[in-house]
Amino acid sequence: MSKIHVTTTVNGDEVEFLTDPRETLLDCLRDHLDLTGSKEGCGTGDCGACSVTVDGTLVSSCLMLGVEAEGKKIETIEGMAGKDGELHPLQRKFIEHAALQCGFCTPGFLVASKALLEKNPDPTETEVRYWLAGNLCRCTGYDKIVRAVMDAAAEMRGAA
């Protein structure tokens, strides 16, 4: 099986990798680029643990091929904190609200929540819950996650 050479931008850095065309973007991030923050919960689009943005659009990286990343701009959980390690407000609020237990779903929730707040800085609770309907968590019961997102949104708007 001949491999395909892909050049893409991940968290602002240009990267290259060789991929079998059957590999997903998630496989490529984890196995070729050592970016293991994005998780595989299901591999079939149901759980959102593999969420990344591609050219600003939230997608499940398990439902996209690595070859499709050619020339795109990809953002993953690894790009969320500042270069100096300063946490994004969403990351801080997840900790403050204890919005994680095992943490497996957390990268996906954070990436998805960030995409929401970029589009809608002042979402209602219902909007948060619908936006995150494709992110599954087996531990928290979701309530703390929703509160953390609402609180981070308020802080980012300067309302808290």
Partner 1 sequence: MRYHSPTSFDEAVGIAAKAQGVTRFLAGGTDVLVQMRAGAVLPDDLIDVKKIPGVRDITRTPDGGWKIGVAVSGAELGAHEELCRDWPGVVEGMELVGSTQVQGRATLTGNLCNGSPAADSVPGLVAAGATVTVTGANGTREVAVQDIPSRPGKTSLAQGEVISAINLPPRGENAGDAYLRFIPRTEMDIAVVGCAVSLRVDGHKIVEARVALGAVAPTVLLVSDAADALIGSTLDDAALEALATAARAACKPIDDKRGTVEFRVDVAGVLARRAARIAYDRAKGVSK
Q: Kindly list the residues in this chain that would bind ligand FAD in the complex (CB under 6 A).
A: 44-46
Specify the stretch interacting with partner 1 by CB under 8 A; choose among 21-29, 30-38, 73-81, 85-93: 21-29
DSSP state of 68: G
**Min separation Cβ 151 and ligand FES, Å:** 18
Report the 10 Å Cβ neighbour count for 43. 15
Which x/- pattern over 105-134 shows residues binding partner 1 (rule: CB under 8 A)? -------x--xx-------------xxxxx
Among 101, 127, 129, 155, binds ligand FES (CB under 6 A): 101
Question: Which of 19, 60, 76, 91 lies at the binding interface for ligand FES (CB under 6 A)?
Answer: 60
Q: Is 137 in the site for ligand FES (CB under 6 A)?
A: yes
Closest residue to ligand FAD, based on beta-carbon distance: 45
Nearest to 132 by CA among 44, 47, 75: 47
How crowded is the C-beta side of 47, counted as CA atoms within 13 Å?
A: 16
Residues 47-86, mask of contacts with partner 1 (x by CB under 8 A)? -x--x--x--xxxx-xxxx-xx------------------
Query: What's the rounded Cα separation, in Å, for the pair 95 and 105?
Result: 14
Q: Are 131 and 109 in contact (CB under 8 A)?
A: no
Element (H, E) at 90: helix 89-96
Nearer to ligand FES, 95 or 160 (CB): 95
Burial 64-92 (b: 16+ CB within 10 A, else e): bbbbebeebebbbbbbbeeeeeeebbbbb
Question: What does the binding site for ligand FES look like in residue numbers (CB under 6 A)?
Answer: 40-43, 45-50, 60, 62, 100-105, 137-140
